Amino acid sequence: MDSSELTVHDTVYGTFSLPSYIRSVVETVEFDRLKQLKQLGTSNAVFKTALHTRYDHSLGACYLAGKLLDTLNKTLEVPVSDDERKCVMIAAALHDVGHGPFSHLWEKFVETYGSRWRHERSSVELARNILDLTGNVTEKQIILICALISGEASDLLDSGRQFLAHIVSSDVDVDRCDYLQRDAHNVPDIIQPSHAFRELFNRVRVVTEKRQGGKALLAYHCEDYPLVYEMACARQTFHRRCYQHPKVLGAELMMLDVMYEAERAGFRFTRNGQSEQLSKVHEKPDLFKYLSDNVTEEIAASSLPQLEKAKQLIERLRNDDLYSEITSFPVDMTREIVDFNEQQGAEVVVQAVRYIKSTEQWFHSFNVTFYKPGAQGIEMVSLEEAKQLHLHRAEPSVVPCESSAEEVHEYIIYCTSADPVVQRTVKHHFCKLLSGNVSR
What pLDDT sits at residue 20? 95
Sign of the CA dihedral running 145, 146, 152, 155: negative
Tell me phi and psi for residue 355, to 5 degrees.
-125, 125
Q: How far apart, in whole angstroms, are the C-alpha atoms of residue 4 and residue 23? A: 8
User: Which residue would you say has higher pLDDT here, 438 or 255?
Assistant: 255
Using DSSP's 3-state secondary structure scheme, residue 400 falls into: coil
212 pLDDT band, cuts 50/70/90, is low
What pLDDT sits at residue 379? 87
CATH number for domain 6-237+364-406, candidates 1.10.760.10, 1.10.3210.10, 1.10.150.120, 1.10.10.410: 1.10.3210.10
What pLDDT sits at residue 205? 96
What pLDDT sits at residue 376? 76
Tens-place pLDDT, residues 54-81: 999 999 999 999 999 999 999 999 999 9
Residue 239 gets which letter from DSSP?
Answer: I
User: Which residue would you say has higher pLDDT here, 44 or 381?
Assistant: 44
Asked if pLDDT for residue 30 goes beyond 90, the answer is yes
- Letter for the amino acid at 400? P
Mean pLDDT of the residues in the chain:
92
Tens-place pLDDT, residues 312-369: 999 999 999 999 999 999 999 999 999 999 999 999 999 999 999 998 888 877 888 9
Q: How far apart, in whole angstroms, are the C-alpha atoms of residue 126 and residue 220? A: 33
3 pLDDT band, cuts 50/70/90, is low
Using DSSP's 3-state secondary structure scheme, residue 7 falls into: strand
Closest by alpha carbon to 4, among 68, 18, 56? 18
Beta carbons of 175 and 95 less than 8 angstroms apart: yes
Tens-place pLDDT, residues 164-203: 999 999 989 999 999 999 999 999 989 888 889 999 999 9
What pLDDT sits at residue 363? 81
The length of the chain, given as a count of residues? 440
CB neighbourhood size of 24 (10 A): 20
Residue 58, C-beta contacts closer than 8 angstroms, at least 6 positions apart:
31, 34, 92, 93, 94, 95, 96, 97
What pLDDT sits at residue 352? 97
Task: Give CB contacts under 8 A, 24+ apart, made by 237-241.
Answer: 237/190, 237/191, 237/401, 237/402, 237/405, 238/180, 238/183, 238/190, 238/191, 239/356, 240/356, 240/405, 240/408, 241/190
Asked if pLDDT for residue 406 goes beyond 70, the answer is yes
Q: How far apart, in whole angstroms, are the C-alpha atoms of residue 130 and residue 262? A: 30
What pLDDT sits at residue 397? 47
